[in-house]
Chains A and B, each alone.
Chain A
């Protein structure tokens, strides 16, 4: 399809619980990016993939965050032992070339940690 599909739209977790978010990139797009948008609207880059290979994970809090893009499956972002400060909207975006054609964003998953 021509949209980046993110599920679920909303997710509520108790502090310390696990959260798993999914992203299906546009068919034919080899590059996937995850961003976190916090309440002040600022975007923080988390991780990028080229197909199933991690390209840049400099933004990932590695002790609790992990991500995968496996063949024939949606990409996933998992947060172990969520904290209150993980509350944010998580966006996935995909790109065909990864070279400045701009990303196509999904509609985001709003994670609320209570």
Chain B
């Protein structure tokens, strides 16, 4: 069975700083997808970034980038120039490369951006 582990329950950084959120996962699959979702206080789940395991290149979306280390089964999220609006829960998630398969979520990291 697949598992996703986020070892940082809570983090705080100053506005404009860079912050990295950690995520490791366990799977025997070779092809899969990884995601980071943001859940602000409004509780809406927002897809931040996705990575396909068979792609070597790390995904980036504006200020958000990932460090995907397939051999180490690590998928960290880097937020550059953090903004107050980045304050949220962040969930790392895994999905097998199979039709209809469910997404498995980590327990989340609560990120506070301080003014």
Contact = CB atoms under 8 A, between A and B. Distances in A.
Nearest to A45: B102
Given A40-B107, A45-B102, A100-B33, A107 B50 contact: no
A45 B34 CA distance: 17
Contacts, number: 56
Interface stretch (B13-21, B38-46, B63-71, B72-80): B38-46
Contact of B52 (A31, A40, A93, A100): A100
Interface of B: 33, 35, 39, 42-47, 50, 52, 89, 91, 95, 97-105, 107-108
Shortest 3 CB-CB distances between A and B: which pairs?
Answer: A105-B45, A100-B33, A43-B105
Interface of A: 31, 33, 40-43, 45, 48, 50, 55-56, 59, 89, 91, 93, 97-105, 107-108
